[in-house]
């Protein structure tokens, strides 16, 4: 009797599995084990960098749901993150609420702001929407600057907030934070992967590809566009809130337009319309300045352009954006996919016809 | 009198910036988010050219800046924009954002973020009754704005190349089938846009200070372009003057700090009220 091809899917459950092939399960299992074990061997500074990667990944997944899946370009992501951070600061520093009140409050505020910022998306597409969100970014940051200036004495250096504590246990130190952020990021990634597979994610993809066509097949474009903004800004606010607790201080100077562009860079580098890609992009863009720093430490003096590496680090973001858009527009995840398909189908060279969807 | 001159000077700078957006949007539907950075880098190039040709005439510095800016624009088109033909315009706009970051980093690396004021035409010609001086550079700025736009209008209206330009703006495919060299036209559009931005940057640097932070004037230029309509040169002039008037009035009547907020408040108002601007084509919106 012939054995069944491992690539043949017979039931719906098989086609819907997140990890369809055995090698994928092994790969993901290995990655999970690696990520759990990493802080046991890495030094504290590296764990700190990874924590920053987790925070970036949560925000990048949120932006990718909006821009990569639903096709709504947003330059306002830094403002959403700022809202999350500031609501956390207000809750924790002014009203002294515990974190399990502050974080949901930040997410709720993020949802409300996302709904408002999403309203222009009902009228505009593409570049006009990007310009509107750009204006929204400046408006929100302007308001928050005024708020921070009036917050109280010494607030100009930032609003400091206490570490989150629960039942006498205080979340402090890089390694405890690592596991906390790992769990949250894992949940966010799973949530986004599953959301992208449901009717919501499919509606978003339909709107991205052609909103008029989406409307004609019965998708409520208004509702789903707004939903995309709300989900995206909730995740951004979550990232901002966790980031506020993580750094212990909130200042409006962090939330520049450059940050919003950095998040766009993350999803371009990782892969538009790919949840896993956003995580890859977030890690890449977060580690990029430090990689350059390391590189410059090795390079001879003459190669350092005389100054600090600051300018090079800044410029590298632009170079990476341009480079990926020109040469690898589908991002890092596409490099992985090409490799995976090559080995999966070897010695054949064609892609599978029965695609399990992009992930 | 002083208010009028101030608004005209500011408006001329903004209109030149807006032209750096509008020319490109007209020709290729690409929104140039790098306009502020292009302007400030243009100012820095002028500064370096002035140092390089010090003792020589001002003309050399101006010529160098003009040549560098046009060449840079053409290079950007050939290296970055041409490979993206056929992609969504958002991708090209994103590349201009990347370009903006690289340019800003260039200021840090090449000029070490130094704050630079161009020593250009600071001689006072006339003192106002209320105080403050009318300086040579104010007149030069207004004249430069008028000359640049007059040249553009004449070029688009009467020059054969200008007609080809309008053809490309209207329909690149048909234009190319009528033997119009679309690549040449678009490369020229980039050259002209970068030149216009650099001119604005030089004029800005002569009255104020060039620094990495001053790239924020790009927002004013973008707003001016949007107020007038992204695909209308007339709109760039009117938009520049309107934004300048609003900025000036806010700084004078309310609070100078508030004037920083003027561009994006106008931007928001325009986007919500009539996103195609005053002279922009209305159905444009359905194509973006």
ipTM for the predicted complex: 0.87
**Residues facing A170 on adjacent strands:** A165
Q: Above 60 in pLDDT, residue A123?
A: yes
Query: What was the pLDDT predicted at A5?
Result: 67
The alpha carbon torsion through B238, B242, B248, B253 (nearest 10 deg) reads 150
Using the beta-carbon criterion (under 8 Å), do A325 and B108 form an inter-chain contact?
Answer: no
pTM: 0.90
Query: Tens-of-pLDDT digits for all 288 residues of chain B?
Result: 778 888 999 999 999 999 999 999 988 888 999 999 999 999 999 998 888 877 667 888 889 999 999 999 999 999 999 988 888 888 899 999 999 999 999 888 888 878 887 777 667 777 776 666 788 888 889 999 999 999 999 998 899 898 888 888 888 888 888 888 889 999 999 999 999 999 999 999 888 888 888 888 888 999 999 888 888 888 899 999 999 999 888 888 887 777 777 888 888 888 777 777 777 776 554 443
Mutate to test the interface with B, among A118, A135, A141, A150 (most CBs of B within 10 A): A135
For residues A47, A50, A51, A54, the Cα torsion angle rounded to the nearest 10 degrees is: -160
The answer to whether the Cβ–Cβ distance between B112 and A264 falls below 8 Å is no
Distance CA A321, CA A327 (A): 10
What sign does the CA torsion over B9, B263, A262, B211 have?
A: positive
Is the preceding omega at residue B283 within 30 degrees of 0, hence cis? no
Residue A318, min C-alpha distance to chain B (Å): 4
Report CB contact under 8 Å: A126, B88.
yes
Phi, psi dihedral angles at A223 (to 5 degrees):
-60, -45
- CA atoms in the 13 A half-sphere facing the CB of A317: 28
**A68-72, A346-350, B14-18, B265-269: the lowest-pLDDT one:** A346-350
Residues in A closer than 8 angstroms to B80, CB to CB, are: 322, 326
Tell how strand A169-170 and strand A165-166 pair up: antiparallel
Q: Do A319 and B98 touch (CB under 8 A)?
A: yes
Helix (H) or strand (E) holding A291, with range, is helix A275-298
Domain-wise residue ranges, chain B = 13-214
Question: Binning pLDDT at 50, 70 and 90, where does residue A305 land?
Answer: low
Q: Is the pLDDT of residue A352 over 60?
A: no
Structure tokens at A343: 């080995």
Residues 310-349 of A with CB under 8 A from B: 310-312, 314-322, 325-326, 329
CB contact under 8 A, A314 and B101: yes
pLDDT of residue B129: 67
Bridge partners of residue A343, in order along the sequence: none
With a CB-CB cutoff of 8 Å, which residues 273-312 of chain A face chain B?
305-307, 310-312
Domains of chain A in sequence order: 1-41 (no CATH), 42-345 (1.10.3470)
């Amino acid at each position: 009797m012939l054995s069944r091809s491992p690539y043949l899917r017979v039931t719906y459950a098989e086609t819907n599995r997140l990890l369809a092939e055995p090698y994928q399960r092994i790969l993901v299992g290995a990655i999970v084990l690696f990520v759990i074990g990493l802080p046991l061997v890495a030094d504290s500074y590296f764990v700190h960098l990874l924590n920053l990667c987790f925070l970036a990944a949560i925000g990048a997944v949120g932006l990718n749901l909006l821009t990569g899946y639903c096709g709504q370009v947003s330059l306002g992501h830094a403002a959403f993150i700022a809202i999350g951070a500031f609501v956390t600061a207000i809750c924790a520093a002014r009203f002294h609420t515990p974190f399990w009140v502050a974080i949901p409050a930040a997410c709720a505020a993020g949802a409300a702001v996302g709904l408002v910022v999403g309203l222009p998306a009902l009228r505009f597409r593409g570049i006009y929407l990007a310009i509107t969100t750009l204006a929204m970014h400046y408006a929100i940051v302007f308001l928050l600057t005024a708020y921070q200036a009036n917050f109280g004495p010494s607030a100009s250096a930032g609003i400091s907030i206490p570490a989150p504590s629960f039942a006498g246990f205080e979340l402090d130190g890089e390694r405890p934070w690592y596991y906390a952020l790992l769990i949250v990021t894992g949940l966010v990634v799973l949530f986004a992967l599953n959301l992208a597979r449901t009717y919501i994610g499919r509606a978003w993809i339909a709107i991205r590809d052609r909103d008029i066509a989406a409307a004609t097949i019965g998708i409520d474009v208004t509702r789903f566009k707004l939903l995309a903004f709300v989900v995206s800004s909730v995740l951004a606010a979550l990232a901002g809130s966790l980031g506020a607790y993580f750094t212990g201080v909130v200042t409006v100077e962090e939330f520049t337009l450059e940050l919003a562009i950095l998040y766009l860079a993350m999803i371009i580098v990782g892969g538009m319309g790919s949840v896993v890609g956003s995580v890859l992009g977030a890690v890449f863009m977060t580690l990029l300045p430090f990689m350059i720093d390391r590189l410059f430490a090795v390079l001879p003096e003459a190669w350092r352009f005389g100054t600090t590496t600051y300018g090079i680090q800044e410029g590298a973001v632009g170079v990476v954006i341009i480079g990926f858009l020109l040469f690898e527009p589908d991002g890092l995840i596409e490099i992985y996919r090409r490799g995976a398909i090559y080995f999966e189908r070897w010695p054949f060279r064609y892609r599978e016809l029965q695609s399990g969807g992009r992930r | 009198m002083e208010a009028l001159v101030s608004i005209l000077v500011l408006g001329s700078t903004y209109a030149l910036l807006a032209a750096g957006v509008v020319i490109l949007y007209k020709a290729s539907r690409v929104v140039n988010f790098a306009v502020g950075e292009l302007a400030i880098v243009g100012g820095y190039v002028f500064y370096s050219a002035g140092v390089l040709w010090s003792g020589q005439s001002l003309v050399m510095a101006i010529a160098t800046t003009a040549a560098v800016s046009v060449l840079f624009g053409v290079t950007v088109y050939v290296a970055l924009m041409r490979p993206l033909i056929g992609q969504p315009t958002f991708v090209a706009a994103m590349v201009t954002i990347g370009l903006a970051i690289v340019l800003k980093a260039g200021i840090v690396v090449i000029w070490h973020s130094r704050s630079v004021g161009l020593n250009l035409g600071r001689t006072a010609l006339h003192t106002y009754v209320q105080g403050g001086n009318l300086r040579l550079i104010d007149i030069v700025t207004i004249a430069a704005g008028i000359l640049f736009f007059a040249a553009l209008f004449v070029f688009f209206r009467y020059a054969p190349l200008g007609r080809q330009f309008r053809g490309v703006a209207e329909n690149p495919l048909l234009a190319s089938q009528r033997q119009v060299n679309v690549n040449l036209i678009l490369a020229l559009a980039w050259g002209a846009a970068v030149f216009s931005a650099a001119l604005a940057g030089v004029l800005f640097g002569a009255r104020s200070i060039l620094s990495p932070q001053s790239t924020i004037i790009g927002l004013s230029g973008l707003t001016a372009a949007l107020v007038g309509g992204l695909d209308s040169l007339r709109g760039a002039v009117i938009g520049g003057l309107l934004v300048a008037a609003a900025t000036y009035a806010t700084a004078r009547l309310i609070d100078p700090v508030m004037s920083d907020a003027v561009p994006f408040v106008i931007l928001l108002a325009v986007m919500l009220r009539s996103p195609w601007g005053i002279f922009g084509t209305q159905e444009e919106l359905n194509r973006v």
